[in-house]
C-alpha cells in the first residue's frame, strides 16, 4: 500500500488531472506507435465514422438528381420515401439516423477512456473523427457520378453495403479495454494502463446529473458544439446547392468541386491532432490548447463563408475559400470536441460489459453531440426559409446567420470553458460516523 500511495498522492493526482500529464517514469519509453493496437482502434473508428457520415451526406448530394429526374418512378425509385424534402426546399433528415449517429459518437469516446493515453488523446481522436471528413469527400464525389451513371438509388445500396462491412469490423476488432484485447503487445498494454492509472477511479458512484446540469463548462461545450455543427451542416448541405445555383455547374462537376474542401479538411484534421499534442509537450496549458484549436476551427471558417456573397469572381475563387474554410473547421476536433475527456476523464477498471463505460466523459460526449445534432435538423429548415423569402440576398442572410450562431457559441465557450477535472467527476470517499 505504501508504494501505491507514493505513486499517486492527492496533490499530484489533482495536478495531473488538470494538465493531462502523467509521470513519465511509470510509462515504458519504447512502445509501438503507428503499427499498434491503439492506432488500429483509431483506424477502425475512422472507417465507422466514414460510413456514418457518408450515409447522411448522400441524402443531400442525391437530392439534386432526385428533383431534376423526370423519368417515371420505377420500383427502385420507391426508396425516395426515405428522403423527404421540406416545404422550404431543404432536406428533412430521417429522425432515425440521429440516435444511431449519437450512439456511435458517444460509444467511441467511451473507448478512448480506456484506450487513449492523455499525451496522445488529441491525435487518436483526430484520426477517428477525421473519418467523417473522408466520408463527406467520398459521398459527395462518388454520389454525383453514380447518380448520373447508375441512378441515384444505387448510391444508397453501395454505401449501405459499406456500412454493413464496417459494422462487422466493429464487432470483431473493438474491445472494451487493452487488458481484454487479444492482439496487443505486452509493452503497449503496460504503456496504456500506466498512462491512465493516475486518472482512473471507481465508477460505483451514481451519475451526478444535477451537478452536470449546473456546470457551465458542460454547457459551454454543448453550445460550442451546437454552433460549430451549424457551421459544418451549412457547408455539407449547402455547398452543393450554392455551387449549383450560383455558378450553374452540373451535378458531376458539382460533386468534384464540392468534395475538394473535405479532402483538405481530412488532412488538416489529423495534422491538428498532432499539433495539439505537440503543444502539450511544450508545457502549454491544456485549456489554452483547447481554446486555441477551437478559435482557429470556428472564427476564420465562418468569416470566410460570410465573404462569399460579396465576391464577383468565378467559382474557382469561391471553391478555394470554401476549401480553406472547411479545412480550418476541423481543428475543433482537437479543441472543444474532446474537452469532455479533460473535465471528466475517469473510467472504470473492472472487466464489465461496454455499457458500464457510459459514464462521465462518454455520457457527456453523447449528450453534447446529441444536443449539437439539433443543428443539422434546424439548418435546412431555417436556411431554406431564408432562401425562399429573399432570392436576391438569401445566401447572404444564410451565411450571416451562420456567423452569428458560430460566434455566440465560441464566445460562450471561451468565457466558461475549462479543462480542470470538475469536482463532481473526482473520486469521493464516503465515510460514516
pLDDT tens-digit series, residues 136-187: 888 878 877 787 788 888 888 898 899 899 888 888 888 888 888 888 888 8
Closest CA to 357 of 215, 124, 180, 238: 180
368: left (phi over 0), alpha (psi -120 to 50) or beta: alpha
CA atoms within 13 A on the CB side of 237: 26
pLDDT at 398: 92
Predicted structure pTM score: 0.73
In the chain, the N- to C-terminal Cα span, in Å, equals 24
The position carrying cell 493496437 is: 37
Residue 183: how many other CB atoms lie within 10 Å? 8
Contact 191, 27 (CB under 8 A): yes
Burial class, 408, CB count within 10 angstroms (exposed 0-12 / middle 13-18 / buried 19+): middle
The domain ranges of the chain are 32-68+81-201+214-425
With a cut of 50, list the residues of the chain below it in pLDDT.
1-27, 70-99, 200-203, 347-358, 430-433
pLDDT at 361: 62
Contact 105, 291 (CB under 8 A): no
CATH topology for 32-68+81-201+214-425 is Growth Hormone; Chain: A; (1.20.1250)
In the numeric block, which cell numbers belong to residue 172?
470483431
Instruction: Classify 283 as helix, strand or coil.
Output: coil
pLDDT at 382: 92
Instruction: Classify 30 as helix, strand or coil.
Output: coil
pLDDT at 107: 66
Closest CA to 222 of 423, 417, 49: 417
Amino acid at each position: 500500500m505504501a508504494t501505491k500511495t507514493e505513486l499517486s498522492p492527492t496533490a499530484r493526482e489533482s495536478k495531473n488531472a488538470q494538465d493531462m500529464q502523467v509521470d513519465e517514469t511509470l510509462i515504458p519509453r519504447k512502445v509501438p506507435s503507428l503499427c499498434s493496437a491503439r492506432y488500429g482502434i483509431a483506424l477502425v473508428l475512422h472507417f465507422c465514422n466514414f460510413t456514418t457520415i457518408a450515409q447522411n451526406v448522400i441524402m443531400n448530394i442525391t437530392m439534386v438528381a432526385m428533383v431534376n429526374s423526370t423519368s417515371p418512378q420505377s420500383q427502385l425509385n420507391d426508396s425516395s420515401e426515405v428522403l423527404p424534402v421540406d416545404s422550404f426546399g431543404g432536406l428533412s433528415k430521417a429522425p432515425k439516423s440521429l440516435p444511431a449517429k449519437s450512439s456511435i459518437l458517444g460509444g467511441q469516446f467511451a473507448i478512448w477512456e480506456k484506450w487513449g493515453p492523455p499525451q496522445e488523446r488529441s491525435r487518436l481522436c483526430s484520426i477517428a473523427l477525421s473519418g467523417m471528413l473522408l466520408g463527406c469527400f467520398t459521398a459527395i464525389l462518388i454520389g454525383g457520378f453514380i447518380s448520373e451513371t447508375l441512378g441515384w438509388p444505387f448510391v444508397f445500396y453501395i454505401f449501405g453495403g459499406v456500412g454493413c462491412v464496417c459494422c462487422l469490423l466493429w464487432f470483431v476488432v473493438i474491445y472494451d479495454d487493452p487488458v481484454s484485447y487479444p492482439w496487443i503487445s505486452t509493452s503497449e498494454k503496460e504503456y496504456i494502463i500506466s498512462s491512465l492509472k493516475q486518472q482512473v477511479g471507481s465508477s460505483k458512484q451514481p451519475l451526478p446529473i444535477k451537478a452536470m446540469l449546473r456546470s457551465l463548462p458542460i454547457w459551454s461545450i454543448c453550445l460550442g458544439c451546437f454552433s460549430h455543427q451549424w457551421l459544418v451542416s451549412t457547408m455539407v448541405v449547402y455547398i452543393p446547392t450554392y455551387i449549383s445555383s450560383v455558378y450553374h455547374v452540373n451535378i458531376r462537376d458539382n460533386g468534384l468541386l464540392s468534395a475538394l474542401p473535405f479532402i483538405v479538411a481530412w488532412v488538416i484534421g489529423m495534422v491538428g491532432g498532432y499539433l495539439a499534442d505537440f503543444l502539450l509537450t511544450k508545457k502549454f496549458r491544456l485549456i489554452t490548447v483547447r481554446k486555441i484549436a477551437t478559435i482557429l476551427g470556428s472564427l476564420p471558417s465562418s468569416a470566410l463563408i460570410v465573404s462569399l456573397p460579396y465576391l464577383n469572381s468565378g467559382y474557382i475563387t469561391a471553391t478555394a475559400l470554401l476549401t480553406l474554410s472547411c479545412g480550418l473547421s476541423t481543428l475543433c476536433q482537437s479543441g472543444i470536441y474532446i474537452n469532455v475527456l479533460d473535465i471528466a476523464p475517469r473510467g472504470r477498471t473492472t472487466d464489465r460489459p461496454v455499457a458500464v463505460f457510459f459514464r462521465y466523459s462518454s455520457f457527456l460526449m453523447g449528450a453534447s453531440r446529441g444536443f449539437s445534432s439539433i443543428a443539422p435538423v434546424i439548418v435546412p429548415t431555417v436556411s431554406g426559409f431564408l432562401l425562399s423569402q429573399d432570392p436576391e440576398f438569401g445566401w447572404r442572410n444564410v451565411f450571416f446567420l451562420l456567423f452569428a450562431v458560430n460566434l455566440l457559441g465560441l464566445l460562450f465557450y471561451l468565457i466558461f470553458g475549462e479543462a480542470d477535472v470538475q469536482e463532481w467527476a473526482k473520486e469521493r470517499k464516503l465515510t460514516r460516523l
